[in-house]
Homo-oligomer: A and B are copies of this chain.
Amino acid sequence: MQKPRQTTIIDIARALRVSPSTVSRALHNHPSISAATKRAVLEMAEKFDYQPNLLALSLLNKKTGIIGIVVPEITGYFFATVISGVQDMVSSAGYKLLICQSNESFEEEKKLLQDMALLRVDGVLISPTFRTKTFDHFDRLKNAGIPLVIFDRDCPNYKADKVLVDSYDGAYQAVEYLIKTGRQHIAHIAGPIAFPTFKQRLDGYLHAHYDNNIPIRSELIVYSDGFSSDYGVDALEKLMICNKKLDGIFAVNDAVAIGAMRVIREKGYRIPEDISIVGFDDESYAQYYFPSLSTVWQPVYELGMLSAKILLDHFANKEPRESYRYEVLKPELVVRDSSPPLY
């Protein structure tokens, strides 16, 4: 496929027997340019279907107008929605968005950031993989003058702008609510605790127990290797095997919750009468599930918007910033039919 050479300002210049600079000025309505030549240039540009070459401009201005975002995966409600928020924010500021997924691979994450540095993106948003424990690849970006904002997944030992959701608080709300409705034997289907987020949800579960003087029964906590619905099925089967006393479940997310609910139903228990259950995420299907699923809603779109906003602020302030932003958004418990109302 032979690329037809694009028309450049030089072509227009030649056609009009003027200099390239004149053409450039006409195209940008520079003050000092005669109306006549300007009109002529614009006409010719139109005729040639002239398109400025952004690469040349970027090279010149050291600014590409591209913002990069790296997420562990784009399939799935959470990150897709974050991206949506980011997209809306950056495109309203005239930036383009380069979206990449690391697939939870640290090597891939390094490579992607490297690529972005080479491409000279103007800034980067990143939600690190759960395997990301060293941050040299982040520092390299910063050293190259590319601002970085971390979102959703915290890197406790690393200093940077961060926008997070308080998973601990969401979990605490959910579990305390279960307790307040009279549940004493609440299981937790935990996600892989290598994920700080899932660790926080576990912590929320534990502390809600402490604070309400309910003893923790470690046999009620199931640690899963993943967080899709299948794991909910597995976890429930484990819990059911020993026929443990059980009247409530806090699942690490909605996908796991619906997997668990299937097993509960198959075993003949009623939801929420025998066992009530609360998920996390408020996926689009949660309110349509049967029974509709109580869950913890997170301000996902706002998370994206805010992260992007913070990055954009970097471009506005020419001065390097004195300190890092640290924003924590609050989730909200949404009570539906899978758990009894609080009288």
* Contact surface of A with B, Cβ cutoff 8 Å: 1-4, 6, 49, 51-56, 58-59, 62, 64, 66, 73-77, 80-81, 83-84, 87, 96-101, 115, 117-120, 140, 143-145, 147, 228-229, 255, 258-259, 261-262, 265, 283-285, 287-290, 292, 314-315, 317-321
Q: Is the CB of A288 within 8 A of B314?
A: no
Which 4 A-B pairs have CB atoms at the shortest separation, nearest pair first? A3-B145, A99-B99, A258-B288, A54-B118
Q: Is the CB of A98 within 8 A of B96?
A: yes
Distance in angstroms from A234 CB to nearest chain B CB is: 13
Do A75 and B75 contact each other (CB < 8 Å), given the known contacts A262-B290, A288-B258?
A: no
Q: Is the CB of B51 within 8 A of A4?
A: no
Do A55 and B64 contact each other (CB < 8 Å), given the known contacts A228-B284, A259-B288?
A: yes
Q: Is the CB of B101 within 8 A of A54?
A: no
What are 26 contact pairs spanning A and B, CB under 8 A?
A: A1-B145, A1-B315, A1-B317, A1-B318, A1-B319, A3-B62, A3-B145, A6-B144, A54-B119, A55-B119, A66-B119, A74-B99, A76-B80, A84-B101, A87-B101, A96-B100, A96-B115, A97-B100, A98-B99, A99-B99, A229-B284, A229-B288, A261-B290, A262-B290, A265-B290, A283-B285
